[in-house]
Amino acid sequence: MASRSPGRIRSYRWKEFGLLIIPFLILLLAMTQLLLANVDPQSSLNVRNLPTIQGLIPVIGLIAALLGMNILFSIFFRKADQVLLPLVGLLSGIGVLMATRLGPDLPPPDPALGSRQLLWVLLGMVICIGTLFALRNINWLLRYKYTAALFGIVMVCLTLANTFRYITRLDSPTHDQLNIGPFNFQPSELLKICIVIFFAAYLSENRDILAGGNLRLGPLRLPPLRQLGPLALMLGLALLLFLFVRELGLALLIYGIFLSMIYLGTGKMSYVITSLLVFFVLGFIGYSIFSYVRARFVVVGIDVVNWNQASEQLYSSVGGAFQVVQGLIALSSGGIIGAGLGLGHPAGAGFVPVVQSDMIFTALGEELGLAGLFAIIGIYLLITYRGFRIALEATDTFSQLLAAGLTSIFAIQTLIIAAGNMKFLPLTGIPLPFLSYGGSSIFANFIIVGILLRISYNTAVERDGTT
């Protein structure tokens, strides 16, 4: 027994443990700063008004959960990627802190917002572990690709049914949300995973035929109609969401996933160019038909530097530029280093609407500054890098495409919501991964992390021949 002990110590995930220390320190310092921000500024700082251990319990609980995952992974999945969990844990912790900070200032106040977000994160970690145990053979997803596609279509149908149930006017934006008792659920969070599973499986099985492209359309070469049909069907799904659910951000996300997957699966830029041309044509048709789409593009063009009567009218109108302009004010007031956690004014009546979810990027910019936003974007870039590295190291085509497609979700979703908050793109209602408040997004993101960790573990086991 004694001879096996050093081997067990060496097999522990020490790299992951060492990297987890960084988010642990950041979260403890940030929570301490948040508690100090609530101290009466007129009173002198002394031992009696320093933060108590009770105030640090949410962060300590999150740290304990991450340590528990580290120990569990060391026992059962010691060869899985050791960088992904610390990165995701840091972002999730920042999301919990921001929900805790913003909740009491929301109109109406919601002091329990941070506690609920912490609960979603802890449940998300359980789902991540369950995903790792359930997907012992990743090819199980390959065999049930059409089931995943059908499940995604069912999710869309449920969303459409809910949309037409509560819709009051055809030419108006709606929300991708289902109410199940006391809980609100966003089917699109599972839909995007189903779409990636289907594309990865279909492209891996038809890769050679699709890469050949023997159907000519002018100067472009397209795949045969038999192989093009299922891809066009899933592409039509994104357009269906755009036309009926009227969630521009969701349509952009799904179409971006489609473009990424078709290029990764075939390596042919002509498919991407053709798909972009189709998207621009249909997008122009949607722009011409739906006034709410035109209104969103008008908001993007508002002149906030040379403020005039037209800007004021657009700013004051219902559904106008108020939210975007307030977000820009929050970003600009943060400066380089920010006002400090708990010292800004992103929430409250008259400030940034829906700041806890749609506009969380602006709240982070006001309190953490440009430096903090660069750090957060850097974390997303590292997550994207690790995901694509897992894809490159995978030993089979399906695992490669699945890992790359799931990683693309994080990259595209972050780009869309960050650009919308900064007025580069029309503002959309999709959440910022791990940071925006909401259980549906947290659960879906941890499912993605679980699949990526399982792929990395399976790859290492196949190459080394041991567990």
CA-closest candidate to residue 467, choices 74, 109, 87:
74
Give the three-state DSSP class for 178.
strand
CA-closest candidate to residue 196, choices 460, 447, 429, 462:
447
At position 411, the amino acid (one-letter code) is: A
- pLDDT at residue number 159: 67
Q: Give tens-digit pLDDT for 360-408.
A: 999 999 999 999 999 999 999 999 999 999 999 998 999 999 999 999 9
More confidently predicted of 104 and 229: 104
User: How many whole angstroms separate alpha carbon 264 and alpha carbon 319?
Assistant: 38
User: How many whole angstroms separate alpha carbon 214 and alpha carbon 212?
Assistant: 6
Domain ranges of the chain: 1-41+52-134+321-467, 142-289
DSSP state of 234: H
Yes or no: say if 288 and 416 are a contact pair by the CB < 8 Å rule. no
Q: Tell me the CA distances in angstroms from 138 to 52, 143, 145, 447, one per residue in order.
A: 46, 10, 12, 13
Q: Give tens-digit pLDDT for 297-342.
A: 888 888 888 888 888 888 888 778 888 888 898 898 888 988 888 8
User: How many whole angstroms separate alpha carbon 145 and alpha carbon 204?
Assistant: 11
Residues 253-271: what's their mean pLDDT? 83
With vertex at residue 455, the alpha carbon angle to CA 452 and CA 456, rounded to the nearest 5 degrees, is 85
pTM, to two decimals: 0.90
Q: Which two tokens stand for residue 245?
A: 């659910």
Give the three-state DSSP class for 13.
coil
CB atoms within 10 A of CB 25: 11
